[in-house]
Amino acid sequence: MTSGQLTASSLPLNARITAPDTVEIPAIGEDLAWRAATKNDIPALFDLMRSAGAVDHPRTLVMMDEIEEKFADDDFDPTVDSVIAFDPSGRAVAFATATLLSSQETIVWVSLHGAVHPDRRGEGIGSALIRWQEGRGLQHLAGSDKLLPGWLSSDAQENATATVRLLHRNGYESLRWWYELERDLADPIPHISHDPDVRIVPYGPEWSEPTRLAHNDAFRDHWGSQPVSRADWEAGDRLSASRPDLSFLAVARADHGQDRVVAYVLSEANEEEWQIHGYPFGYIYAVGVVRQWRGRNLARALLTHAMRAYKDKGLERATLEVDSESPTGAVSLYEGLGFTTVDRSISLVKQF
Digit-coded pLDDT (tens) for 267-294: 999 999 999 999 999 999 999 999 999 9
Q: Domain check: are 150 and 210 in the same one?
A: no
- Of 171, 87, 161, give the one whose Cα is nearest residue 133: 171
| 7: in domain | no
| 352: in domain | no
Query: Residue 106: in which H helix or E strand, if any?
Result: none
Indicate whether 255 pLDDT > 90: no
Which pLDDT band, with edges at 50, 70 and 90, does 2 fall under? very low
Q: Domain check: are 131 and 193 in the same one?
A: no
Which pLDDT band, with edges at 50, 70 and 90, does 225 fall under? very high
- Report helix, strand and coil shares of the chain as percent, to nearest 5: 35, 25, 40
| 223: in domain | yes
Indicate whether 307 pLDDT > 90: yes
pLDDT at residue 6 in the model: 53
3-state secondary structure 132-183: HHHHHHHHHHHCCCCCCCEEEEEEEECCCHHHHHHHHHCCCEEEEEEEEEEE
| 318: in domain | yes
The whole domain housing 134 covers 13-171
Q: Domain check: are 261 and 324 in the same one?
A: yes
Cα–Cα distances in Å, from 7 out to 19, 86, 147, 148? Answer: 22, 42, 9, 7
| 84: in domain | yes
Q: Domain check: are 149 and 266 in the same one?
A: no
Q: Domain check: are 139 and 163 in the same one?
A: yes
Q: Across residues 321-343, what is the average pLDDT?
A: 95
45 burial (CB, 10 Å; 0-12 / 13-18 / 19+) is buried
Which pLDDT band, with edges at 50, 70 and 90, does 10 fall under? confident
Which pLDDT band, with edges at 50, 70 and 90, does 8 fall under? low
Bridge partners of residue 50, in order along the sequence: none
Q: Domain check: are 185 and 311 in the same one?
A: yes
Q: Domain check: are 38 and 159 in the same one?
A: yes
Q: Across residues 93-122, what is the average pLDDT?
A: 98
Label residues 236-263 b or e (16+ Cβ within 10 Å = b): bbebebbbeebbbbbbbeeeeeeebbbb
Which pLDDT band, with edges at 50, 70 and 90, does 3 fall under? very low
Bridge partners of residue 112, in order along the sequence: 98
| 3: in domain | no
The residue among 171, 192, 224 that closes a domain is: 171
Which pLDDT band, with edges at 50, 70 and 90, does 118 fall under? very high
| 8: in domain | no
pLDDT at residue 1 in the model: 39
The residue among 152, 171, 190 that closes a domain is: 171
Q: Domain check: are 340 and 231 in the same one?
A: yes
How far apart, in Å, do the first and last CA atoms of the chain sit? 8
The residue among 140, 171, 202 that closes a domain is: 171
Give the count of domains, the chain: 2
Which pLDDT tens digit goes with each residue over 30-45? 999 999 999 999 999 9
Which pLDDT tens digit goes with each residue over 51-97? 999 999 999 999 999 999 999 999 999 999 999 999 999 999 999 99
pLDDT at residue 194 in the model: 86
Indicate whether 144 pLDDT > 90: yes
Mean pLDDT of the chain: 95
Which pLDDT tens digit goes with each residue over 192-214? 998 888 999 999 999 999 999 99
Residue 326: give its domain's CATH number: 3.40.630.30
pLDDT at residue 4 in the model: 47
- Of 74, 105, 141, give the one whose Cα is nearest residue 227: 105
Lowest mean pLDDT among 1-10, 19-28, 99-108, 211-220: 1-10
Q: Domain check: are 164 and 189 in the same one?
A: no
Q: Say if pTM beats, i.e. exceeds, 0.85.
A: yes
Q: Domain check: are 157 and 18 in the same one?
A: yes
pLDDT at residue 217 in the model: 97
Q: Domain check: are 239 and 332 in the same one?
A: yes
Q: Domain check: are 186 and 163 in the same one?
A: no
pLDDT at residue 159 in the model: 94
Q: Percent of the chain scored above 90 by pLDDT?
A: 93
Indicate whether 254 pLDDT > 80: no
Indicate whether 348 pLDDT > 90: yes
Contact of 187 with 340, CB cutoff 8 Å: no
| 1: in domain | no
